[in-house]
Amino acid sequence: MSAAPDVRVWRIALDPARAPDADALAELSPRERARAEQFYSDDLRFRWLHGHVATRRILAEALGVAPAVITYGEGASGKPFLVAPGGSGLEYNYSDSGELGLLAVSTVGAVGADVEAMRRLPELERITERFFSVEERTAILSLPDAERPSAFHRVWARKEAYIKAVGDGLAHGLHRFAVTYAKGDARFVQMDGSREEARAWTLAEVEVPSGYEAAVAIRRPAVSIEVLDYR
């Protein structure tokens, strides 16, 4: 029997046309249900609900508990973590964009996940100048115009996955570290000028449908990752 992977990543389809059923909604906390009511449109509300129901159900299955038993807390920068049941050692991170959610669950330490729906970016050059490292700006802006949007979203997803793993949010400074931009080649180039620290991390590209880019990051030099579709 093969060993369980260190990190499991679920791709979650977020249906904007229908709400989860009553049983699924009952699994959410009062705070989650109140948060859902703040969305100004049904499609945004339904996508959010589907992602959070799926997150609870996936975590519940991994922990061997009912979804409603799970309790979350928040770190200083708003990153959620498991409060109950305690002592499991599981870490998780959830991201959504468009009609796709991404949930990473780790047994070997803090993990970050990010998915980005590609969109038109007339301000692409300005954003890269403001937020990206010199290495990343140089690489992306040297590409033909038609290739820049996909490279930009790929870099953005990889950088977001890292800062979500660290738990500092955007306060960490996206320009302080550099990642690769090429499809199929997800790596850290440097962190605060250190290539040694970059080698202490794993950055992995997650295969997602056309029109999206996604990545996970974890501070371990070698991890096994399994990607699954939530159904």
Domain positions in the chain are 7-107, 114-224
Q: Per-residue pLDDT for 191 more than 90?
A: no
Give 107 or 76, the one with higher predicted confidence: 107
pLDDT at 62: 95
Are 14 and 96 in contact by the 8 Å Cβ rule? The answer is yes
How far is residue 79's CA from residue 125's CA, in Å, rounded to a whole number? 29
Are 131 and 174 in contact by the 8 Å Cβ rule? The answer is yes
Are 214 and 116 in contact by the 8 Å Cβ rule? The answer is yes
Burial of 29 (0-12, 13-18, 19+ CB in 10 A): middle
* Residues forming beta bridges with residue 11, ordered by sequence position: 102, 229
The pLDDT of 141-145, averaged and rounded, is 94
Decide: pTM greater than 0.85.
yes
Are 63 and 90 in contact by the 8 Å Cβ rule? The answer is yes
Maximum CA extent, the chain: 52
Using CA atoms, how far residue 62 sits from 78, 167, 220, in Å, is: 23, 23, 21
Fold of 114-224: Ribosomal Protein L22; Chain A (3.90.470)
Whole-number CA gyration radius for the chain: 18
Q: Per-residue pLDDT for 169 more than 70?
A: no
Q: For 29-66, what is each residue's pLDDT tens digit?
A: 999 999 999 999 999 999 999 999 999 999 999 999 99
Q: Could you tell me the two tokens for 211?
A: 């029109």
pLDDT at 79: 83
* The one-letter amino acid at 213: E
Q: φ and ψ at 94, to 5 degrees?
A: -125, 145
Strands 7-13 and 100-106: antiparallel
Other beta carbons less than 10 A from residue 35's beta carbon: 15
Q: For 201-228, what is each residue's pLDDT tens digit?
A: 999 999 999 999 999 999 998 899 999 9
* Residues forming beta bridges with residue 115, ordered by sequence position: 214
Positive/negative CA dihedral, 88, 168, 135, 118: positive
The CATH class of the 7-107 domain is alpha beta
The pLDDT of 106-126, averaged and rounded, is 93
Q: Three-state DSSP class for 178?
A: strand
Same CATH fold, 114-224 and 7-107? yes
Report percent pLDDT > 90 for the chain: 78
pLDDT at 75: 81
